[in-house]
Amino acid sequence: MAIRVNPKLIDELETYGAADVQNCYHCGNCSATCPFSKEPFVIPRRSMRNLQMGLEEKLKGTFEPWLCYYCGECSQQCPRGAEPGETMMSLRRWLTSRYDLTGISRLFYRSWKAELAALILVSLVTMVAFLVMGFSLGHGSLGVYAGAGALFPDHLVHILDLALAGLLAAVLLTNAIRMWWLTTGRNRNLHISLWSYVKNVFLLPYHFLFQARYSQCEKKLPWLTHLAIFLSWVTMEVLVILLLERFHSPETVWAAHVFGYLATIGLLGGTIYAMVGRVRKRETHYKHTHPTDWMFLILIAGAAFTGIVQHASYRWLGLDSVANIAYLIHMMFVVPLLAVQIPFSKLSHLAYRPLAMYLATVHTDALASQQAGAAQTEPVRLAA
Amino acid sequence: MARVGVFIGQFHSDSRIAFDSLASYAANLRAVEKVRLLGLRPKVDVKSLAEEIRRERLDRIVLAGDSPGYFKPAFTRALELAGGDPSEVRLASFREHGAGSVEVTDRAKAVLACAVHGVPYPLVAVPKPTVVHPATLVVGGGVAGIQTALEIADAGKQVYLVERTGTIGGHMAMFDKTFPTLDCAACILTPKMVAVHDHEMIELLTNSEVISVSGNPGAFKVKVRKRARRVDSSSCVACNACTEICPIWVWSEFDSQLTHRKAIYIPFPQAVPNAYLVDPEACAWVQSGGTRCGVCVKKCPKECINLGEQDQTVEIEVGNIVLTTGYDMLDAAKVERYGYGKYPNVLTSLEFERMTNASGPTGGKIVTKTKQKNRRLKVEEWVADPKGPPPRSVAIIHCVGSRDTNYNPYCSRVCCMYSLKFAHLVREKLPGAACYEFYIDMRAFGKGYEEFMERIKAEGAHVVRGRTAQVIEADGALVVKGEDIVQDRLVQYPVDLVILAVGLVPATGTAELAKLLGVPRDPDGFFSELNYNGDPTYTERGGIYVAGMCQGPKDIPDTVAQASAVAAGVLRSISTGGMGNLDSLTLSDIEERAAKMQVSER
């Protein structure tokens, strides 16, 4: 098969945030330093090489960028300032736009104005939808927050919840299938047994929930921050989808509330920590910030903050009308976050990361059984 | 005598020229009949100008200003119309001759005077050749300094060779073999060192430093501080009796801290001058102010030790100064991931160089360091003992701190080749030992270097392309971790000895010396040559030259070549006289000379 070279690949990747890729002179320092770099997936130098040579198809078919958690060791030690860590980050953005068939993701990553416009548009649509729902369908009044006659009745909100969840799941699933096809399905040289797919399937929820691989980085704080934001977010989703009525019921459900408080602290603390880090730029992984990173953090922090206002004014102050307004603004943060960032932007990695870990294990199994005895999967150790 | 009209115009609005004072100066010049200030960017009407020239009967026009060439055609036409000789329009262009500001009004006047006299300024403003003092100062007694001193002295001119340490020879004296010929370094260098010592035209000042320089090119006055040697080098016969009795042990600099020396010592047996010296930092007598020890004085059969000797400052006059201050190794401990300073068997290249040297601390045996008790300091130390176990495998890591934006961005130029030489020495002395070379790019650029590399590969050294990321300790062995980028896989090699090919930096004190002499330095810290291609041995400062590593990393052949080349420049300056300084010319000098030249022209 002929190999097609795209000489402008680096230029293209620069629009996704990469810089200084051409500085690399292939000393291999980054791969040897990387705590994740294990045979057969040697990151990040191999991707730097493929990028310099413009091997677009090869890059499209690799999930190696998803194995990097950007601890920054490689960029710190790079003798040429080629920023391999940031290159991997940009490659993840680029891959996201390859998995997304609509082309929207590509547009958002290359133009932050487009993404911002989309976020604002979705936000405004949400506002109109909620106002229409509240004042015409629900026959509610501004002064009632919960129970019968509430402005935004729970059963109607629920329908919207589920509709959005179904839509997102469908989009993510097609993208994930495309990722599988590009990296695995179309590779005729790789023979993967069904049993391998089945026995490793537990890795998907495992990596999804705990980001276990991230914890192997030398520095633990970035992983803990990520875990705090992620688990808090999952907790909130569960509470909202399963327990929304209880939340809004006049009597206090302590179990739900304790989790809710913890999750709010996690979200707010995590995002503030990340924002401060991105402003101070002390750590390597916070040195380069893409506009999508800011949008993500601002949306999460906004959602957490309006959630607190809404809770405080309903529970503690008894101001139902304020709570309703805060609820509306809350939804204007949450819906864009879910509807724009999950399928088309930064948040989509919640699907690709675990899938990449899963596929990496499956690939390693297949390679090991294919070359049983012939090649080592461990680093070479020569006897002295 | 010609009747001259001076027209002064300003053509740039930001000009900082004292036009008024120039106009009054011009009016007082003898031949000048007419001075007119044209103002800023004047409009010149050829007809009325021709009328004016005819009226004043001018036969030479001086067009002065910051860049007056633009108006020359108009004035030429006007002079032609008026019936004059069109070639008599002379320009006095201030900017072009470096007289474009108020501070150099005198030079502007000189330019104007030359134009009035009708002679080109550059022809007049030639400084007189100055008398150059025939003696030369060479700073630094490495192979570059030795070669330069011998070349100049052999031509019959006096040389002062100033060396900071107790002996000349520099780094080359520490080496065992030279690449790519594998010649014995000492066999090349020692005869030259002895020749320097015995040469009647060379005065050797060891243990000395330049502390101040005054005067001008051709006549420098240099103060040199001679630190007290405390041993009379003319009567010392190097019998070793003092060292035997001396009770103080310190790390040996010459042996790269691999072993110890005494407080009274000779750096190495072939040192020049071949005499002992006292390390005042270590000597108990000096440190106690003469109350303790002093056994060496009693033991010396020639009675040549004077522990109370004081530092002296000598003043010398020289015409030229050659800098051959050489280099230092980058501190390998800065590159933390290779564990230098943490693991005893991680050596720098210079340490290995001493270890493999037949006159070194192990007598040329390659060994791993052993832990020994230092009875005096009551501590355990890692020492290179000749009876220590030889390594079964050796890793040589290239580009340590070189070609790295975190340390030295430049290539140190010699590391690839000496690393290959190390591989040869390891394979030669320990045929059973494995030897790995980790490199990024192999820079074998010189005559015979590529062939040398092929030879080393054929001798069985494993050459691994890829920079190692880390040296760690595991199971009692050092493990070198890296990526073999040709095989595209991660590698880990357990080895007994790691040699770091450490990058080179300018010698300590280079910055101070540059400040002292007013010689510019490159961003890397090395002295800047005047022109990289054309004048590689000259500096921007007249009368001061550079050679060898202090101008940039280079190998021994290149250093020696440059050192010889520098001698040619110095000797030329002594025999023809140096270029004087343009600023030394006064206005009256130029006026006088211009007037004379005008006369001789006619």
Q: What DSSP designation does B128 have?
A: P
- Given a cut of 70, whether residue B573 has pLDDT beyond it is yes
Predicted confidence at residue B583, as pLDDT, reads 58
* Residue A2, domain member (yes or no): no
Beta bridge partners of B346: B498
Contacts of B494 in chain A (CB under 8 A): 381, 384
d(CA B326, CA B395): 28
Same domain membership, residue A280 and residue A356: yes
- Given a cut of 60, whether residue A48 has pLDDT beyond it is yes
What's the domain count of chain A?
Answer: 2
Residue with tokens 């700073």: B139
d(CA A189, CA B582): 78
Predicted confidence at residue A258, as pLDDT, reads 85
d(CA B394, CA B367): 11
Predicted confidence at residue B578, as pLDDT, reads 63
Confidence class for position A136, pLDDT limits 50, 70, 90: confident
Same domain membership, residue A349 and residue A249: yes
Asked if A32 and B494 come within 8 Å (Cβ–Cβ), the reply is no
Predicted confidence at residue A139, as pLDDT, reads 67
Of the partner residues A31, A80, A382, the one whose CB lies closest to the CB of residue B405: A80
Handedness of CA B556, B557, B562, B568 (dihedral sign): positive
* Residue A347, domain member (yes or no): yes
CA atoms within 13 A on the CB side of B120: 4
pLDDT tens digits, residue range A301-349? 999 999 899 888 888 888 888 888 998 999 999 999 999 988 898 889 9
Range of the domain at A353: 104-363
- Given a cut of 50, whether residue B350 has pLDDT beyond it is yes
CA atoms within 13 A on the CB side of B179: 28
Same domain membership, residue A45 and residue A160: no
* Residue A379, domain member (yes or no): no
Pair B58, B5: CB distance under 8 Å: yes
Contacts of B489 in chain A (CB under 8 A): 39, 42, 379-380
Confidence class for position B5, pLDDT limits 50, 70, 90: very high
Q: Which of A267, A281, A344, A76 is nearest to A289 (CA)?
A: A281
pLDDT tens digits, residue range B363-395? 999 999 988 887 777 788 888 889 999 999 999
What is the amino acid identity at position B482? Answer: G
Predicted confidence at residue B379, as pLDDT, reads 83
Confidence class for position A104, pLDDT limits 50, 70, 90: very high
Confidence class for position B544, pLDDT limits 50, 70, 90: very high
pLDDT tens digits, residue range B312-333? 999 999 999 999 999 999 999 9
Could you tell me the two tokens for B590? Answer: 């130029």
SS3 labels along A237-285: HHHHHHHHHHHHCCCCCHHHHHHHHHHHHHHHHHHHHHHHHHHHCCCHH
- pLDDT (mean) for B140-162: 97
- pLDDT (mean) for A231-247: 82
- Given a cut of 90, whether residue B590 has pLDDT beyond it is no
Confidence class for position B599, pLDDT limits 50, 70, 90: low
Same domain membership, residue A307 and residue A242: yes
Element (H, E) at B590: helix B587-601
Predicted confidence at residue A252, as pLDDT, reads 67
Q: Which residues contact B82 (CB under 8 A, 6 or more apart)?
A: B50, B51, B53, B54, B58
- Given a cut of 70, whether residue A124 has pLDDT beyond it is yes
What is the amino acid identity at position A297? Answer: L
DSSP assignment of B554-570 equals --HHHHHHHHHHHHHHH
Same domain membership, residue A95 and residue A109: no
* Residue A374, domain member (yes or no): no
Q: What DSSP designation does B102 have?
A: G
The share of chain A scoring above pLDDT 70, in percent, equals: 93
Catalogue all structural domains in chain B, each as residue range(s) with its CATH number: 4-127+582-601 (3.40.50), 136-175+186-323+508-576 (3.50.50.60), 328-505 (3.50.50.60)
The share of chain B scoring above pLDDT 70, in percent, equals: 97
pLDDT tens digits, residue range A172-225? 999 999 999 999 988 888 888 899 999 999 999 999 999 988 888 888 888 998
d(CA B382, CA A211): 45
Lowest mean pLDDT among A40-49, A354-363, B37-46: B37-46
Hey, of B438, B485, B492, B495, which one would you mutate to test binding to chain A, going by the most A CBs within 10 A of its CB?
Answer: B485
Same domain membership, residue A142 and residue A17: no
* Residue A47, domain member (yes or no): yes
Give the torsion through C-alpha atoms of B140, B141, B143, B147, to 10 deg: 90
SS3 labels along chain A: CCCCCCCCHHHHHHCCCCCCHHHCCCCCHHHHHCCCCECCECCCHHHHHHHHHCCHHHHHCCCHHHHCCCCCHHHHHCCCCCCHHHHHHHHHHHHHHHHCCCCHHHHHHHCHHHHHHHHHHHHHHHHHHHHHHHHHHCCCCCCCCCCCCCCCCHHHHHHHHHHHHHHHHHHHHHHHHHHHHHHHHCCCCCCCCHHHHHHCCCHHHHHHHHCCCHHHCCCCHHHHHHHHHHHHHHHHHHHHHHHHHHHHCCCCCHHHHHHHHHHHHHHHHHHHHHHHHHHHCCCHHHCCCCHHHHHHHHHHHHHHHHHHHHHHHHHHCCCHHHHHHHHHHHHHHHHHHHHHHHHHCHHHHHHHHHHHHHHHHHHHHHHHHHCCCCCCCCCEECCC
Which residues of A sit within 8 Å Cβ distance of B?
25-33, 37-39, 42, 45-46, 77-81, 379-382, 384
Same domain membership, residue A16 and residue A72: yes
- Given a cut of 80, whether residue B17 has pLDDT beyond it is yes
Same domain membership, residue A134 and residue A36: no
d(CA A46, CA B198): 61
Length of chain B: 602
Pair B512, B518: CB distance under 8 Å: no
| Full strand arrangement of the beta sheet holding B202-205 | B202-205, B159-162, B136-139, B320-323, B544-546
Lowest mean pLDDT among A17-21, A137-141, A337-341, B148-152: A137-141
Higher pLDDT, A244 or A299: A299
Same domain membership, residue A272 and residue A240: yes
Confidence class for position A106, pLDDT limits 50, 70, 90: very high
Asked if A379 and B496 come within 8 Å (Cβ–Cβ), the reply is no
- Given a cut of 70, whether residue A383 has pLDDT beyond it is no
Give the torsion through C-alpha atoms of A302, A305, A309, A312, to 10 deg: 160
Same domain membership, residue A204 and residue A88: no
What is the amino acid identity at position A22? Answer: Q
**Averaged confidence pLDDT in chain A:** 87
- Given a cut of 80, whether residue B579 has pLDDT beyond it is no
Residue with tokens 């004379």: B596
Could you tell me the two tokens for A199? Answer: 């026995």
Of the partner residues B470, B488, B496, the one whose CB lies closest to the CB of residue A42: B488
Strands (E), B289-419: 312-318, 320-323, 327-329, 346-348, 370-374, 379-383, 393-400
DSSP assignment of B149-168 equals HHHHHHTT--EEEE-SSSSS
pLDDT tens digits, residue range B105-117? 888 888 888 888 8
- Given a cut of 70, whether residue A374 has pLDDT beyond it is no
- Given a cut of 70, whether residue B601 has pLDDT beyond it is no
pLDDT tens digits, residue range B404-428? 999 999 999 999 999 999 999 999 9
pLDDT tens digits, residue range B254-263? 998 888 899 9
* ∠ CA B503-B341-B328, rounded to 5°: 30
pLDDT tens digits, residue range B442-486? 999 999 999 999 999 999 899 999 988 899 998 888 999 999 998
Confidence class for position B123, pLDDT limits 50, 70, 90: confident
Same domain membership, residue A60 and residue A29: yes
Rounded to the nearest 5°, which phi and psi values hold at B147? -65, -45
Q: How many CB atoms are located within 10 Å of the residue B380 CB?
A: 10
Of the partner residues B399, B470, B496, the one whose CB lies closest to the CB of residue A32: B470
Distance from CA of A42 to the nearest CA of B (A): 7
Hey, of B400, B436, B463, B467, which one would you mutate to test binding to chain A, going by the most A CBs within 10 A of its CB?
Answer: B467
Whole-prediction pTM value?
A: 0.79
Asked if B406 and A77 come within 8 Å (Cβ–Cβ), the reply is yes
Predicted confidence at residue A377, as pLDDT, reads 46
pLDDT tens digits, residue range B187-224? 999 999 999 999 999 999 999 999 999 988 888 999 99
Could you tell me the two tokens for B30? Answer: 């003898």
Which residues of B sit within 8 Å Cβ distance of A?
337, 392-393, 399, 403-406, 434, 440-441, 466-470, 477, 481-485, 488-496
Three-state DSSP class for residue B497: strand
Predicted confidence at residue A237, as pLDDT, reads 86
Pair A303, A337: CB distance under 8 Å: yes
Asked if B468 and A26 come within 8 Å (Cβ–Cβ), the reply is no
Could you tell me the two tokens for A183? Answer: 């990296």
Pair A46, B488: CB distance under 8 Å: yes
Lowest mean pLDDT among B28-37, B133-142, B443-452: B28-37
What is the amino acid identity at position A263? Answer: A
pLDDT tens digits, residue range B509-537? 999 999 999 999 999 999 999 888 888 99
Residue A198 CB-density burial (10 A; 0-12 exposed, 13-18 middle, 19+ buried): exposed
- Given a cut of 70, whether residue B128 has pLDDT beyond it is no
Distance from CA of B488 to the nearest CA of A (A): 8
* Residue A77, domain member (yes or no): yes
* Residue A378, domain member (yes or no): no
Higher pLDDT, B14 or B311: B311
Same domain membership, residue A111 and residue A38: no
Of the partner residues B393, B469, B477, the one whose CB lies closest to the CB of residue A29: B469
Predicted confidence at residue B602, as pLDDT, reads 45
d(CA B230, CA B221): 27
